[in-house]
Each structure stands twice: as C-alpha cells, then as structure tokens.
Amino acid sequence: MPQMSRQDPLIEHHTVDYVPLAERHGKARDLFTLWFSTNIAPLPIVTGAMVAQVFHLNLLWGLLAIALGHLLGGVVIALASAQGPRMGIPQMVQSRGQFGRYGALLIVFFAALIYIGFFISNIVLAGKSIVGIVPSVPVSASILIGALSATAIGVIGYRFIHALNRIGTWVMGSALLAGFVYIFVHDLPADFLTRGGFNAAGWLATVSLGIIWQISFSPYTSDYSRYLPADIGITRPFIATYLGATLGTILSFAFGLVAALATPEGTEAMVAVKQATGALGPILMVLFLLNIISHNALNLYGAVLSIITSIQTFASHWTPSIKVRVVLSGIILAGCCVVALGASADFIAQFIGLILALLLVLVPWASINLIDFYIIKRGVYDIASIFQADGGVYGRFNLHAIVAYFIGIIVQLPFANTSLYVGPWANLVDGADLSWLVGLAVTCPLYYCLATRKHTQKVRAVKLGYSD
C-alpha cells in the first residue's frame, strides 16, 4: 500500500459513501495480512483447545476437522471480500441492492448488535489480560485502556487497520510458530498422540464450528477491500482473503489443540498455553493482548459503519463526515465501557453465547448476498440507486429477499443448538449445531427461484406482446 501523501488525511474521511476510482489504492495481499493477523488471537486458540477438552478428539482427527471446517467456511468470507473492489461501498450498504433500501435495515441492525457484542467481550478480555500481565493495574483501568486503544485504531480507520495487520502478520505469525517449536522440542505427555480419539459428534461439531467461525466475518469483509482498485478483479481478492482467513484460524485453532494436549487434562486453555510454552509464555500473552486490541478495532469500525448506514437510510442526501464517525465511536465506547465495567465474572461466556445464537440470522443473509452478487446480478449493481431515497431500481423493500431471509431463519430453528434456544432436532448429532447447513440448503435455491421468477415473467410477457 502506498505511503500517505501530504494530501491524505490521517483519519479516513469516507464512511458509508462510495469510494471514487481515483481514491482507490492498495494490493490484494493487504487482505491476506489483515485476515491472517486478525485470527491469531486468544479466542480462536481457546476455541481450538475445546476440540480436545470438549469434543474429545485426538490430535490427528482434531487437526483434520479444524482444517476442513475452515477451508469450507473460508469460501464464504472470501467471496464476500471479493465484492469490495467492484462495489466500492461497505457490505451493509450493498445489502440495499438485495433487500431494498429499508428492507436492509433488519440485517444492518443485527450486524451492529453483533459488532457491539464482540467489542464489549473483547474489551473485558483485554482488561483481564492486562491484569494478568501487570497485576497492580486495577481491572476497571485495564478495561478502559483496552477500550480506548481499540477506539483510537477504529477512529483512524482503514489505512491504519491494514498497516497494523501487516506488521501483526509477521510478529504474530512468528510468535505462534515459535510457540509450536517450543512445545515440540520439549518433553510431551505420554498420551499426547493418544488422548481422545474419533467420535462422529465431536468431529462434526468441530467442522461446523470452523464453518460458522468464517461465516461470522462475512458481514464486514468487503469493508476492508472496498478501497482496492476496481480493475483488480475477483480472483486475487478472493485468494488473498481465503488464504489469510483460513491459514490464520487453522494455525490458531491447531495451537490451542496442541497446547491442550501438551498439558495435563482439564487445564484451562490459556493456562495451558502459558505452561506449554514456558519462557515464551509471557511474551505470547503480551502479543495476544496487542492483537485483541487491534482486532477489536474492526468490531468498532463495523459497528460505526452499520449505525451510520441505518441513519443514512432515512437521510439519503446526508453524507456523514469524519466528525460523525468520531462522535459515534465515542458514544459506542462510553456505552460499552459502562456495560463492561459492570460485567459479571462469566460475562464473556454468556455474551458470546448470545452473539453465536445471532449467527442464525447471518447464514440466510450470506446465502442471499452471494447468490444475488455472483449468480443473479453477476457483480453489476446500480450504485446511484443504492443511495437514492426511494431505493432506485431496488425499491424500498425487495419482498423476494425478505421472504427468503425469514424462511431461512425459521427452517434453522428446529436444528438450532445455542445458549438461547435448543430446537427439538438439535441433538440429531450430539453437540453439533447443524442449523447453518439447513439454512444454506433452503435459502440459496429459494432466493434464486424467487429472484429469477419476476425476470422470467417479464420475458414471457414481452414474448406475448403484453409489455410496452
């Protein structure tokens, strides 16, 4: 990515508006570093440890399930990311071209809620990490430090986020590889390779977890590719995002699994990381803290863009300024800090359970988004209509998309296995939430049929001479 010129502002000045071709910059490889670095963090490592601790898989079957899940789910995030250079607008704004100007508000609301939920969870996690490294710092002060640091990155915006993750790719990638080497050159438990085994439920649950993990990023992936040159095409952004997202998460999940197997059974995940990596442990903890803060900036950035998108829906002629983004970031920061400071000891587990339950609403959205962009419209959208008060050619509401969306949610409910709701068929495969599979299988063909029906009827009317 080119260096900033004197004319380039330190703080990103675009919000939800279209990025003009003259202002496009960057390389596809920037997407690799962004998604690789973002996913080397405590949360995926802790989740990887669950493969042995909760799903009781051994090393071989655990690694196979981790790799397969993320390689499959990575297709969704990569396809979403590749839309950015073609569209030049944030992902949630683009949804107006599929759901209509006002119809898109529902998914924008859910996206904002998910971002804010993860932002709160991560500032609590950052606060606890700071206390773990420097016990003399009060928990409240630690939470504020983590929140303010992430907010500063999010306010500066696109360029700074990419720059940090370019550095983070080398630093975090090297640190994780050093951790692997440390574990394997030291004595391993006698049951390192034999602890656990294969069980269909645990294996499918791990695969599903990897797929859901990747899908959860899809509502904001093109936010970080929309500045790329429009002529960069689809293939290069797809490959860069796919490799970055899948390799980063596979490494992190695998590290958590290896650390869990390298320590006594029942050891808490991050304690296992410290014990298994010895002298490297404290260094890794500091790096993980920095990565939590950097990653959390993406959650704030996405939340702000979603809220601005919602407001701008009712004010089509309004072009939000830098000040609006800064003020909204401050409001979100204040509200999230109040919640985080009053959080209970098990807040993170409870809140992540809530957020993961909301992923039920993302699967049908992702299905509609990809079918519409790649199969129906083939990447050709009327950008001017997306910003018109009446929705232009896309209208205020697209009932075909809205109907398919709600049916896609409803058909998942009997199979849902979340902290908020457990469906009657949730335990067909014990421990595995397969609702996402039902959502994809129903929403994709349903939306395609509904969306192409109107076009087919119009063509038929023309042939019969009923159209003007």
Angle at CA 453, nearest 5°, toward 452 and 459? 90
* Residue 425 CA: distances (Å) to CA of 192, 404, 412, 421: 35, 22, 10, 12
Q: Check if the beta carbon of residue 226 is closer than 8 Å to that of residue 90.
A: yes
Map tokens 């950052």 to a residue.
126
Give mean pLDDT, residues 313-320.
82
Greater confidence, 354 or 101? Answer: 101
What torsion do the CA atoms of 428, 430, 431, 437 make, to the nearest 10 degrees? -30
For residue 427, name the pLDDT band (cuts at 50, 70, 90). confident
pLDDT above 90 covers a percentage of the chain that reads 40
What pLDDT, in 10s, does the model give residues 251-308? Answer: 999 999 999 999 998 888 888 888 999 889 888 888 888 888 888 888 888 888 888 8
Q: What is the pLDDT of residue 25?
A: 85
Type and span of the H or E element at 105 = helix 105-133
Strand partners, 197: 57
Least Cα distance to 226 among 467, 16, 47, 449 occurs for 16
What pLDDT, in 10s, does the model give residues 347-406? Answer: 666 665 666 677 788 899 999 999 999 999 999 999 999 999 999 999 999 999 999 999
At 136, which amino acid appears? S
For residue 58, name the pLDDT band (cuts at 50, 70, 90). very high
Q: Is the pLDDT of residue 343 over 50?
A: yes
Q: What is the pLDDT of residue 136?
A: 87
Report helix angle 42-53 to 200-215, nearest 10.
Answer: 170
- Give this prediction's pTM: 0.87
For residue 342, name the pLDDT band (cuts at 50, 70, 90). confident
Q: Is the pLDDT of residue 465 over 60?
A: no
Q: What is the pLDDT of residue 3?
A: 41
For residue 99, name the pLDDT band (cuts at 50, 70, 90). very high
Q: Is the pLDDT of residue 466 over 80?
A: no
What pLDDT, in 10s, does the model give residues 398-422? Answer: 999 999 999 999 999 998 887 778 8
Least Cα distance to 91 among 369, 436, 398 occurs for 369
Please tell me whether residue 228 adopts helix, strand or coil conformation: coil
What pLDDT, in 10s, does the model give residues 102-153? Answer: 999 988 888 888 888 888 888 888 888 888 788 888 888 888 888 888 888 8
Q: What is the pLDDT of residue 375?
A: 94
Greater confidence, 214 or 326? Answer: 214
Q: What is the pLDDT of residue 304?
A: 87
Q: Is the pLDDT of residue 9 over 60?
A: no
Q: Is the pLDDT of residue 5 over 50?
A: no
Least Cα distance to 230 among 94, 91, 85 occurs for 85
Task: Write the DSSP symbol of residue 375.
Answer: I
Mean confidence (pLDDT) of the chain: 86
Type and span of the H or E element at 171 = helix 158-185
* Calpha distance 143→6 (Å, rounded): 35
The residue count of the chain comes to 468
Q: Is the pLDDT of residue 425 over 90?
A: no
Strand partners, 417: 422
Q: Is the pLDDT of residue 247 over 80?
A: yes
Q: Check if the beta carbon of residue 353 is closer than 8 Å to that of residue 418.
A: yes
Find all residues with CB under 8 Å of 300, minimum gap 6, and list them.
115, 119, 150, 151, 154, 329, 332, 333
All domains in the chain, ordered by first residue: 21-464 (1.10.4160.10)
Give mean pLDDT, residues 306-322.
84
Report helix angle 269-277 to 158-185, nearest 10.
Answer: 60
For residue 2, name the pLDDT band (cuts at 50, 70, 90). very low
Counts of helices then strands in the chain (DSSP H, E): 19, 0
Task: Write the DSSP symbol of residue 3.
Answer: P
